[in-house]
């Protein structure tokens, strides 16, 4: 009986060892690249056009040029109902309305009410506003490329503009509104190939197809998790802390094998949590999925869609009251209209009649607006936060403060965060979102508390642990390569 048990145990360990070896050979390089690309992503995010950049190059609106109301402009699009979002800014020296409807932008000139049709001259004008040092521009129309995933999809087709400036800029102009919607530089693109593209397996042919890409991320991270789990079991089983081996060593291995063994014991647990949380990032099997702030929530908070009265407002007072105004966006809160104004110094909320600044929407109005998102549910708590809590805080992205936090008395513990200065729902969390915050942000980014998020403490901690993980992966790759060479040598001798 003892021999049978020993044989079964030996067979089990052998199978686990083979699983660890061949998974390491098959996926070990990807795990190494994940560690390296994670460090790059700490400093170089995926390209996007920030509001700060738009503030620098958008031309100011001219009230004298705005001769058509937003309502009349909207009617000319022949789209049903009313738009979900409306803004006005300057395109190629002329004011233009931009309407969001059915997931697409529709643009109309504000000086004559004609439909805006993007031309190459408009594209070059938009690009030159952000790359004034360029002397030559090359323009191509595309649907998407490596740097146009995400929010810019509603602007397709896109115009890709290559500039001959010192930064090696490549810019993307909306084929629907004529606006510059994304910019990249040579350095940014190069670092992203070593960062986000590898880390997210963000290669265009795969990422174009959302569900297959999601499956690849889910199964590769799952396989990597099994790789490390098998290694941890084997590593713990082979280490002897109290009764060393006959050689006096606590590990039976030497050289690269010893390095791999000890590094696995030191960093293996953290590597498991990183891989597990990375697996969670694509919400496998819809586990811990959370809707976030939905379109329905936004509509309820607004107090209904924009109407004819909202879109018939005369804009001249608001534009004249704020010299240098770059953009106006229509915004409703609890049925009351405001203008969100973008200026060189930032974004402000304006009274639509006078153009005066609204420093903050009254708390009572915000409460009435947010109650409409869950009309039959009582409130559990209302707080005004001057700094972040565990689920709404600044780290990689800046968050506006102060914010109002409103918690509903629901089984899923739904809470909203509202920015009183802009009258927008800026955050949402429920029970699934809270679990995901700790299991993803906490485990994957070591983002457990404000003290750990402080930079450069966080940078040193995450980068150091990532280097250890990379060393573990490298030692495994060396051992795998040696094993393959040995196997090949044996095969060639036969």
Spatial distance between the Cα atoms of 480 and 279, rounded to a whole number of angstroms: 24
Residues contacting residue 156 through CB under 8 Å, at least 6 positions apart: 143, 144, 175, 176
Residue 135's pLDDT is what?
Answer: 86
How high is the mean pLDDT of the chain? 93
Q: Does 207 fall in a domain? A: no
Closest CA to 306 of 339, 348, 259: 339
Residue 10's pLDDT is what?
Answer: 61
Q: Does 12 fall in a domain? A: no
Out of 445, 462, 480, a domain closes at 445
Phi and psi, residue 421, nearest 5°: -75, -25
Q: Does 275 fall in a domain? A: no
Residue 485's pLDDT is what?
Answer: 87
Residue 135 is encoded by which pair of tokens? Answer: 């002397």
Kindly indicate the confidence band of residue 9, based on its pLDDT and cuts at 50, 70 and 90: low
> Domain total for the chain?
2
Kindly indicate the confidence band of residue 1, based on its pLDDT and cuts at 50, 70 and 90: very low
Averaging pLDDT over each range in 108-117, 134-143, 449-458, which range is the top one?
108-117
- Asked if residue 147 lies in contact with residue 172, where contact means CB atoms within 8 angstroms, the answer is yes
Q: What percent of the chain has pLDDT over 70?
A: 98
Residue 305 is encoded by which pair of tokens? Answer: 């869609």
Residue 3's pLDDT is what?
Answer: 43
Spatial distance between the Cα atoms of 241 and 256, rounded to a whole number of angstroms: 20
Q: Does 479 fall in a domain? A: no
| Whether residue 183 is found in the same domain as residue 299 | no
| Strand order across the 180-184 sheet | 137-142, 158-163, 170-174, 180-184
Kindly indicate the confidence band of residue 4, based on its pLDDT and cuts at 50, 70 and 90: very low
- pLDDT average, residue stretch 5-16: 70
Domain that holds residue 73: 51-189
| Whether residue 177 is found in the same domain as residue 302 | no
Q: Does 393 fall in a domain? A: yes
Q: What percent of the chain has pLDDT over 90?
A: 82
Residue 5's pLDDT is what?
Answer: 47
Q: For the segment 322-373, what is each residue's pLDDT rounded down to a tens digit?
A: 999 999 999 999 999 999 999 999 999 999 988 999 999 999 999 999 999 9
Find the range with the poorest average confidence among 19-23, 187-191, 309-313, 448-452.
448-452
Out of 189, 204, 230, a domain closes at 189
| Whether residue 315 is found in the same domain as residue 175 | no
Q: For the segment 204-257, what is each residue's pLDDT rounded down to a tens digit?
A: 999 888 899 999 999 999 999 999 999 999 999 999 988 898 888 899 999 999
Q: Does 351 fall in a domain? A: yes
Q: For the segment 478-488, what is each residue's pLDDT rounded down to a tens digit?
A: 999 998 888 88
Residue 7's pLDDT is what?
Answer: 53
Residue 67's pLDDT is what?
Answer: 96
Q: Does 438 fall in a domain? A: yes
Spatial distance between the Cα atoms of 294 and 411, rounded to a whole number of angstroms: 19
Q: For the chain, how many residues are written?
A: 494
Angle (deg, nearest 10), helices 210-238 and 2-41: 130
- State yes or no: pLDDT of 69 exceeds 50: yes
What's the distance, Cα to Cα, between the start and end of the chain in Å?
39
Q: Does 130 fall in a domain? A: yes
Neighbours of 456 (CB within 10 A): 8
| Whether residue 315 is found in the same domain as residue 437 | yes
Find the range with the poorest average confidence among 90-99, 132-141, 384-393.
132-141
Q: For the segment 21-46, what is each residue's pLDDT rounded down to a tens digit?
A: 999 999 999 999 999 999 999 999 99
Out of 425, 445, 465, a domain closes at 445
Spatial distance between the Cα atoms of 65 and 385, rounded to a whole number of angstroms: 42
- State yes or no: pLDDT of 259 exceeds 70: yes
- State yes or no: pLDDT of 2 exceeds 70: no
């Amino acid at each position: 009986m003892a021999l049978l048990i020993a044989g079964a145990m030996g067979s089990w360990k052998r199978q686990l060892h083979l699983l660890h070896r061949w998974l390491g050979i098959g996926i070990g390089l990807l795990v190494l690249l994940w560690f390296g690309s994670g460090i790059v992503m700490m400093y170089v995010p995926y390209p996007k056009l920030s509001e700060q950049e738009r503030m620098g190059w958008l031309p100011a609106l001219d009230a004298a040029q705005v001769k058509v109301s937003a309502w009349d402009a909207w009617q000319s699009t022949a789209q049903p109902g009313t738009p979900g979002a409306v803004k006005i800014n300057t395109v190629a020296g002329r004011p233009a309305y931009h309407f969001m409807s059915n997931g697409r932008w529709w643009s109309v000139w504000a000086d004559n009410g004609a439909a805006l049709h993007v031309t190459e001259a408009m594209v070059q004008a938009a690009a030159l506003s952000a790359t004034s040092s360029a002397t030559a521009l090359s323009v191509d129309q595309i649907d998407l490329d490596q740097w146009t995933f995400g929010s810019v999809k509603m602007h397709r087709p896109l115009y890709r503009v290559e500039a001959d400036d010192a930064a090696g800029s490549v810019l993307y102009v909306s084929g629907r509104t004529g606006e510059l919607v994304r910019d990249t530089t040579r350095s940014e693109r190069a670092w992203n190939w070593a960062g986000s593209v590898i880390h997210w397996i963000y290669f265009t042919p795969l990422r174009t197809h959302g569900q297959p890409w999601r499956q690849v991320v889910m199964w590769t991270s799952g396989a990597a998790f099994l790789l490390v789990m098998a290694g941890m079991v084997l590593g713990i089983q082979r280490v002897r802390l109290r009764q060393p081996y006959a050689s006096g060593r606590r590990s039976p291995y030497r050289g690269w094998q010893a390095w791999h063994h000890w590094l696995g014991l030191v960093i293996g647990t953290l590597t498991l949590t990183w891989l597990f949380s990375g697996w969670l990032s694509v919400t496998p099997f819809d586990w811990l999925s959370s809707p976030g702030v939905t379109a329905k929530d936004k509509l309820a908070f607004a107090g209904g869609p924009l109407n004819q009265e909202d879109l018939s407002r005369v804009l001249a007072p608001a534009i004249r009251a704020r010299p240098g105004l770059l953009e106006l966006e229509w915004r409703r809160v609890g049925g009351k209209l405001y203008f969100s104004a973008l200026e060189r110094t930032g974004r402000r909320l304006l009274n639509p009649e006078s153009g005066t600044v609204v420093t903050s929407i009254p708390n009572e109005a915000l409460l009435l607006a947010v109650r409409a998102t869950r009309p039959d549910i009582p409130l559990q708590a209302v707080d005004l936060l001057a700094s972040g809590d565990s689920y709404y805080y600044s780290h990689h992205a800046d968050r506006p403060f102060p914010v109002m936090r409103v918690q509903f008395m629901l089984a899923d513990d739904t809470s909203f965060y509202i920015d009183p200065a802009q009258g927008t729902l800026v955050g949402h969390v429920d029970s699934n979102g809270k679990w995901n915050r700790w299991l993803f942000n906490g485990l994957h980014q070591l983002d457990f508390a404000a003290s750990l998020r402080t930079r450069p403490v966080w940078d040193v901690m995450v980068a150091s642990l990532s280097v250890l993980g990379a060393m573990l992966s490298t030692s495994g790759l060396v051992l795998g390569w040696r094993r393959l060479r040995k196997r090949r040598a044996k095969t060639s001798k036969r």
